[in-house]
Amino acid sequence: MANDIMKLSDYNYELPKELIAQSAAEPRDSSRLMLVNRGTNEVTHHIFSDLLEHLQEGDVMVFNNSRVIHARLRGHRSSGGAIELLLLKNISSGIWEALVRPGRRMKSNTKFTVVSPDGQRQVNGTIKSVQHNGSRIVELEDDSRLDEIGILPLPPYIQADLTDSERYQTIYAVNEGSIAAPTAGLHFTTDLMGKIRDHGVETVFVTLHVGWDSFRPIKNNDLASHEMHSEFFHISKSAAERITLAKSQNRRVISVGTTAVRLLEHLGTQCQYSDSSPVLHEMSGHTNLFINPGFQFKLVDALITNFHLPQSTLLMLTSAMAGSALLRKSYEIAVDQKYRFYSFGDAMFII
């Protein structure tokens, strides 16, 4: 996060292991909230339930309502030997792109059986092909039963057992398709959402299914050569109209999470403009937009987000929003003040 913003090595920081949150705050909005002010370069400390104090009447908050699927599957090959799959993307009915282990054993035409965690149900499958990036195209005989045969794919840095799977879902998650939660939304409660609306703030919901890039490491130090995997998105007619109106009236559009940022800014690169104001329409598609410092934001004015892994695309996006120097300062303060990091950790509001 230095001035030389196109090198992976610039996005590193030291984090004590004990600051990696292993469980979600209870209640959800009792987590801490760091307010990062780009206008004054100030960093102040709050509780997430105090968010209302930093919102303005007329603001539009954009939430990603994607729901995490039970994408981690375990079982065995027909010839014997344990296997594990992580479903990445649904291609068509029963056909998925997946990561598999052990990869060397899972070649084209390999037959396998997925077994539910309780051992009572199973689904057969076949490796259809091997992709150039190491993933597999797999066919499952019945993928309508993922909730029964699979488990939620928690990030590898969370070692604690998840006793309530809904704690890794936002309260407004409805559209199934993500393999990781849009974690900035985990801090919101039904009560807080009601207070936000009563305050005169609009809440708008869009969908972007979170994919592999949320945890896939970047391997090349030259960021210009990094390619993001595409992720499916949808924005409704109502959401498009409300965001369009807000931008035309110079009201703030606040993205809840980096995934909503990627969706919105993808639309910002595709839409038409009227008097320099973006005009959005209902749309579905895929985006592989890679946001890093130097990016010119067209729709998003402020961002609520968690604290992200070193050298991750999410940290780069957040750095693009806050500014590299201010974000580095904020992370140093967060470590010093013992904020909780990553998916179940505390939040930051960049204004």
- Domain identity same for 36 and 99: no
253 in a structural domain: yes
| Domain at 179, CATH number | 3.40.1780.10
- Domain identity same for 321 and 180: yes
3 in a structural domain: no
Find out whether 341 and 26 touch, Cβ atoms under 8 Å: no
- Domain identity same for 132 and 170: no
Helix (H) or strand (E) holding 256: strand 253-256
pLDDT recorded at residue 214: 62
- Domain identity same for 29 and 142: no
39 in a structural domain: yes
Query: Which residue is it, tokens 């090349």?
Result: 220
- Domain identity same for 94 and 138: yes
* Predicted structure pTM score: 0.94
Q: What are phi and psi of 227, to 5 degrees?
A: -110, 125
Residue 60, CB-side half-sphere exposure with 13 Å CA sphere: 25
**What is the spatial distance between Cα 274 and Cα 293, in angstroms, rounded to a whole number?**
27
Return all residues near 250 (Cβ < 8 A) that are at least 6 apart: none
- From 103, 125, 149, give the residue that closes a domain: 149
Q: Exposure of 247 by Cβ count < 10 A (0-12 exposed, 13-18 middle, 19+ buried)?
A: buried
- Domain identity same for 95 and 63: no
- Domain identity same for 55 and 80: no
111 in a structural domain: yes
154 in a structural domain: no
- Domain identity same for 198 and 50: yes
Q: Which two tokens stand for residue 170?
A: 């936002």
Find out whether 178 and 67 touch, Cβ atoms under 8 Å: yes
pLDDT in tens, the chain (351 residues): 443 446 888 899 999 999 999 999 999 999 999 999 999 999 999 999 999 999 999 999 999 999 999 999 999 999 999 999 999 999 999 999 999 999 999 999 999 999 999 999 999 999 999 999 899 999 999 999 899 999 999 999 999 989 899 999 999 999 999 999 999 999 999 999 999 999 999 999 999 999 876 666 677 777 776 778 789 999 999 999 999 999 999 999 999 999 999 999 999 999 999 999 999 999 999 999 999 999 999 999 999 999 999 999 999 999 999 999 999 999 999 999 999 999 999 999 999
- From 149, 183, 216, give the residue that closes a domain: 149
- Domain identity same for 99 and 198: no
Query: Which residue type does 256 have?
Result: V
Query: Which residue is it, tokens 């990553």?
Result: 342
Nearest residue to 113 via CA among 87, 139, 144, 152 = 139
Find out whether 73 and 115 touch, Cβ atoms under 8 Å: no
241 in a structural domain: yes
pLDDT recorded at residue 6: 64
What range does the domain containing 23 cover?
Answer: 8-68+163-350
- Domain identity same for 189 and 243: yes
- Domain identity same for 92 and 226: no
51 in a structural domain: yes
Number of structural domains in the chain: 2
- Domain identity same for 169 and 258: yes
